[in-house]
Structure 1
Amino acid sequence: MGNKRYAQVDKEYCVACGTCVKVCPRQAISVPDGISAVVNPDRCICCGLCARECPASVIRVVTADV
């Protein structure tokens, strides 16, 4: 078993501005409901661009057991 790192959005505070969608080099983030961003962990390469660019600072990099 290994660990997979990916970006995670705090949906409670996300304002769906779309900044993370624009900066993601793998198109791993979308705002499907217009309310909050969603990360596809299978596409996320954990580059951290979304977390750095998020104006609300509600994206963080997490590690999950796989």
Structure 2
Amino acid sequence: MGINSESDISANLQIGPTTEGMVRIYVAGEGVDLPLDFDPEEAEEIAEELRGAAQAARKMAEGAKGKKR
């Protein structure tokens, strides 16, 4: 499965600080229980990547709307 592959799999996502000063991204779904811990600097890098991906996706969606005409 790649980044552009669709899937019927659903999962819950939780993000928050841990008592050890880390940032945890917690993914839970059927057969999946995945805690991912990052130090604050790594978490900020991930946040920047998410913002960049959101901006790119927004531009792609806007471009697709213009092509439908």
TM-score (normalizing by structure 1): 0.23
TM-score (normalizing by structure 2): 0.22
More helix as a share of residues:
2
